[in-house]
Amino acid sequence: MPHPTHTPDTGRIVILGAGPCGLACADELTRLGHRDFLLLESASTPGGLASSVVDAAGFTWDLGGHVVFSHFGEFDRLLADLFTAEELLYHDRSSYIRYGDGWMPYPFQHHLHHLPPRDATACLSDLLAARHVSSGEPSAPADFATWLGTMYGQALVDRFFAPYNTKVWATPLEDMGSAWVAERVAPVEVEEILAAFAGTAAPARRWGPNATFAFPTSGGTGEIWHRLAVRIDAGHLRTQTHVVAVDPTTRTVILADGERVGYDHLVATGPLDQLTAMTATCPSSLRTAARSLRHTTVAMVGLGYKTPTTDSRSWLYFPQPDIPFYRATNFSKYAPANVPCADTGTYSAWMTETSLAAGQSLDHHALVRSCDQALRRHGLVPEHTPLASTHVEVIPYAYPVPTMGRDEVLAQVVPWMEAHGIYPRGRFGTWRYEIGNMDHAVKMGIDVARRLLNGTPEELLASAPALTAVRVECRS
């Protein structure tokens, strides 16, 4: 991606979307002394995909699974500016996978010795055979299904990776690429696995960037973005403002009420397929290419119970096809204030996530009933505990799917946009799940602000090829 070699004539900057990326961009522009910008958000409150809601019964819910961890100093400094030490709770991750009638420690592939003997033998045998053939790496880029089999062996794929990831992505794994795998699928050290079987292994390492994570004491994840939005002058942030078209020729965005807002540079943090569809003069070939990009829809079902919070685990994975959700989060453990009156001696809260293919219909009542029954059936909630609250949030654009043709589409669409003064950024602007955490979004927002004001290269995007990281089991 080309970068300017001189300080640009900045002019007016319009930012579409007040999620983490857009808010961070606006905040950095303010910090650098630039006042000629406007942040437009279609929702009634800022926060985007990282928002939180409070239901009628007083339970707080996030829009899907979020925990706070960071790869970047800018994100760390932002968090330190917004919260005192007492306003954040810190947790050591405690995660398990439901397997048969028991629980496997996370990551699955590090704990094969916990499997029933027949399954353990099959997984270990296939893993060793795969490693002997591949020497640790596939010979060429492959689809995700092939990559998993090459790296882990078919027995492990059949027992966990295939059923779990099929639920997460709502997409055939053969349709997904593998160039994005690295940090987010736990690597396997065969010697350590063999030592675990022999009973001579050292204590298990806590793998992954979210082995320790933070969470606000109140307000859910959305409290971070609420506080950041407060720092932006009211005249620079407009909510309930719907953009329906972008005209690169006149450098204007057109709002639903007909108002035209001019810009010199446009930072667009919404979905790239929608951006191409509403951008005048965007070639039809690029619009067609962008329509091939896939994403998931996630139904977050929050279930509040009148029973104490006693489970000490953070979140749990469910590869079983008869369980609707792929993950259940022990949300009252994250922060007592997530339940009414912060009373975890009386209430508990479980937040479940169910992936849907884009456009798939959903029976809300049936899904709530199925999620509730599954939590009880698998021992997370006592059988006769009364429900205190149910809450459903459907996130139409939850995660961009890294399909086989994704990178080719991005290589066509993004340069055209930038050549016309439009900078797609954030989880769905870049359509790159591997750089779709909250900290990545903040870093992208800060980087593009610095680029537009000072002409400095965008550090995250410049290093993104080295960051091709899969989030198969890890959450943002």
Cα-based distances in Å from 22 to 43, 82, 304, 388: 13, 17, 32, 36
Predicted local distance difference test score (pLDDT) of residue 328: 98
Say whether both 266 and 317 belong to one domain: no
Let me know: does 120 contact 128? Beta carbons within 8 Å: no
Same domain, 418 and 288: yes
Q: Which of 401, 417, 451 is the last residue of a domain?
A: 401
On whether the CB atoms of residues 65 and 475 are closer than 8 A, the answer is: yes
Query: pLDDT tens digit string along 394-403?
Result: 999 999 999 9
Q: How far is CA 373 from CA 102, 323, 325, 370, in A?
A: 18, 9, 12, 5
Instruction: Give me the chain's average pLDDT, please.
Output: 90
Q: Is residue 368 part of a domain?
A: yes
In the numeric block, the tokens 């593009």 are attached to: 448
Q: Which structure tokens are listed for 189?
A: 């050290």
Beta strand extents in 27-134 (DSSP E only): 37-40, 52-54, 60-62, 88-92, 95-99, 102-105
Percentage of the chain with pLDDT > 90? 78
How many residues are present in the chain?
476
390 lies in the same domain as 408: no
- 286 and 425 share one domain: yes
Exposure of 467 by Cβ count < 10 A (0-12 exposed, 13-18 middle, 19+ buried)? Answer: middle
**Bridge partners of residue 237, in order along the sequence:** 39
Task: Give a yes or no: residue 136 inside a domain.
Answer: yes
Confidence tier at 225 by pLDDT (50, 70, 90)? very high
Q: Examine residue 115 and state whether it is found in any structural domain, yes or no.
A: yes
Using alpha carbons, select from 460, 458, 426, 64 the residue that is nearest to residue 270.
426
Query: What share of the chain in percent tops pLDDT 70?
Result: 90
The vertex-357 CA angle with 354 and 359, nearest 5°, equals 115
pLDDT of amino acid 462: 86
Co-location of 310 and 351 in the same domain: yes
Round to whole Å and give the CA distance between 70 and 20. Answer: 13
In the chain, the number of structural domains is 3
Shared domain for 364 and 412, answered yes or no, is no
Question: Is 384 found in the same domain as 367?
Answer: yes
**Contact criterion met (CB below 8 Å) for 178 and 141:** yes
Q: What are phi and psi of 351, to 5 degrees?
A: -110, 120
Residues 317-352 have pLDDT tens digits of: 999 999 999 999 999 999 999 999 999 999 999 999
**Tens-place pLDDT, residues 33-78:** 999 999 999 999 999 999 999 999 999 999 988 888 888 899 999 9
Confidence grade of residue 244 (pLDDT, cut at 50, 70, 90): very high
Q: Does 266 reside within a domain?
A: yes
- Claim to verify: residue 408 and residue 282 sit in the same structural domain: yes
Is 6 part of any domain? no
Looking at residue 455, its pLDDT comes to 94
Residue predicted with more confidence, 210 or 114: 114
pLDDT tier at 184, thresholds 50, 70, 90: low
Which residue type occupies 148?
L
- Kindly state the average pLDDT of the residues 97-118: 93
In a domain, 208, yes or no: no
Which of helix, strand or coil describes residue 195?
helix
Helix (H, G, I), strand (E, B) or coil at 191: helix
Over residues 112-157, the pLDDT tens digits come to 999 999 999 999 999 999 877 765 454 556 899 999 998 899 999 9
283-295: pLDDT as tens digits: 999 999 999 999 9
At 168 the three-state DSSP class reads: helix
Model's pTM, two decimal places?
Answer: 0.92
User: What phi and psi values does residue 216 have, to the nearest 5 degrees?
Assistant: -60, 145
**Model pLDDT, residue 180:** 79
Last residue of a domain, one of 353, 380, 401: 401
> Can you give the pLDDT at residue 198?
80
Q: At 386, is the pLDDT very low, low, confident or very high (cuts 50, 70, 90)?
A: very high
d(CA 463, CA 443): 12
> How far, in Å, CA of 201 to CA of 195, rounded?
5
Same domain, 192 and 328: no
285 with 262, same domain: the answer is yes
pLDDT at 472: 34
Whether residue 464 has pLDDT greater than 80: no
Domain boundary among 134, 164, 198: 198
Residue 289 and residue 381 in one domain: no
CATH number at residue 341: 3.90.660.10
Q: Return the CATH number at 148.
A: 1.10.3110
Using alpha carbons, list the distances in angstroms from residue 213 to 74, 90, 311, 393: 17, 6, 18, 24
Inside any domain, residue 260: yes
d(CA 36, CA 29): 9
Tell me the average pLDDT across 280-307.
97
Look at residue 189 and tell me whether its pLDDT is greater than 70: yes
What does the pLDDT read at residue 205? 60
Q: What is the pLDDT of residue 69?
A: 85
- Containing domain of residue 112, as a range? 108-198
Residues 192 and 229 in one domain: no
209 lies in a domain? no
Which run of H or E residues covers position 116?
Answer: none
Here the CATH number for the domain that contains residue 429 is: 3.50.50.60
Residue carrying the six token digits 């009542």: 365
